[in-house]
Amino acid sequence: MGVSGGRPSGPKGYPAMPYPVSNARRVMVTTVPFGTVDPAPLRLLAEAGIETVINPLGRKLKAHEVADLIAGFPVVIAGTETITAQAMAARPELKAICRVGIGLDSVDLPAARRLGIAVTFTPDGPSPAVAELTIGLIIGLLRQIGSADRGLHQGRWVRHTGTRIAGSTVGVIGVGRIGRRVIRHLLGGFPGVRILAVDPCPDPTLDAVAWVEPETVWREADVITLHVPLTADTVNLVAARELALMKPSAVLVNTARGGIVNEADLAQALTAGTLRAAAVDVFCEEPYHGPLAGLDSALLTCHMGSMTADCRARMEIEATRDAIRILNGLAPVHPVSEEDIDNAERLARR
């Protein structure tokens, strides 16, 4: 089934038909898993009469594999694999890339704009899950859960003396969808926590936090958690200089994007003991095989901030709905903004 009769209006703020309708009603799903948590996205595609092929390799694609796999498909429902300008240019039939997730650094956005390829994402879907994982990682670091677990598996019974969130100073860098949720969890669950917040646009309604400059967070926070996008302004936001300013007893959490923290500098600080511990969910190269994997003070997870059943399902459904809209000649609900593309262009020029 497709859209028949009069053409429906586009979402509020968007024209009804800004994209050409493709004659080929086919979608390649490169992200995996897909449709396993909830079959709804597959059902939506089938009901729309769209042929769907799911990544036959069953793993994250390497950049050089993308062009071949997406050949003949006007729309790609993508994950975190790198989609280069070369891959897009090699496929003139490509009309849209619908990202399952919030990060946009894996797609060459300026090239997509030049080539007339629409790019969408799912900014709201992952927020609840990432915020909850962040709180879990903070607790894991402060109570040394990872160290206790590894020790016990190796036959060592060591009772670590940790620190509570309540009574700690937590620095939140970036107060957007996820950072705001983290703050609400902290204020609601840990009476006595002191929160320092950094954002280009401070929100006066969050009167229980102190809006400060980054220098204050580096120097005063017991816990620092990052919730900013990867842009030209945030690449290596946390590197040797910032790590040297932090308390030796402090811990760092990155559930945002790889590249925001300089991984080599972080490994050096943890090895030297100038930083107590760090939790990292996102890396410059994934799967990750770097020096942090050999450090007991590094708590590492596999880019799984959004990986809860409800949030994963919501992201897949939102990306699918935008894919269907585009194939029907309608504007997507969640297109990337011109600001996002301009930021990507600045990042590429660094």
Same domain, 190 and 290: yes
Of 65, 132, 286, 345, the catalytic one is 286
Phi (first) and psi of residue 82, to 5 degrees: -75, 125
- According to the model, what pLDDT value does residue 10 have? 36
Is 13 a domain residue? no
- According to the model, what pLDDT value does residue 235 have? 95
Is 334 a domain residue? yes
Is 151 a domain residue? yes
Q: Is the pLDDT of residue 166 over 50?
A: yes
pLDDT-wise least confident of 42-46, 232-236, 276-280: 232-236
Told to judge if 160 belongs to the known catalytic residues of this protein, a careful annotator would answer no
Asked if 285 contacts 259 with a C-beta cutoff of 8 angstroms, the reply is no
CATH number, domain of 225, equals 3.40.50.720
- According to the model, what pLDDT value does residue 184 have? 97
Is 18 a domain residue? no
- According to the model, what pLDDT value does residue 129 have? 97
pLDDT-derived band at 274, boundaries 50, 70, 90: very high
Query: Residue 245: helix, strand or coil by DSSP?
Result: helix
Phi (first) and psi of residue 344, to 5 degrees: -65, -35
Of 303, 312, 314, 325, the catalytic one is 303
Same domain, 282 and 316: no
Is 1 a domain residue? no
Task: Read off the pLDDT of residues 187-238 as tens digits, 9 standing for 90 and up.
Answer: 999 999 999 999 999 998 898 999 999 999 999 999 999 999 998 899 999 9
Query: What single DSSP character describes residue 116?
Result: T
pTM of the model: 0.85
Told to judge if 257 belongs to the known catalytic residues of this protein, a careful annotator would answer yes
Q: For residue 213, what are its two tokens?
A: 């400059």
Rounded-to-integer distance, Cα 332 and Cα 119, Å = 9
Of 257, 312, 321, 325, the catalytic one is 257
Told to judge if 303 belongs to the known catalytic residues of this protein, a careful annotator would answer yes
Q: For residue 207, what are its two tokens?
A: 């009167």
Same domain, 114 and 240: no
Task: Read off the pLDDT of residues 59-74 as tens digits, 9 standing for 90 and up.
Answer: 999 999 999 999 999 9
Is 272 a domain residue? yes
Q: Is the pLDDT of residue 12 over 80?
A: no
Same domain, 176 and 285: yes
Mean pLDDT, range 311-321, rounded to an integer: 97
Rounded-to-integer distance, Cα 111 and Cα 89, Å = 8
Q: Which structural domain range is residue 202 located in?
A: 127-300
Count of domains for the chain: 2
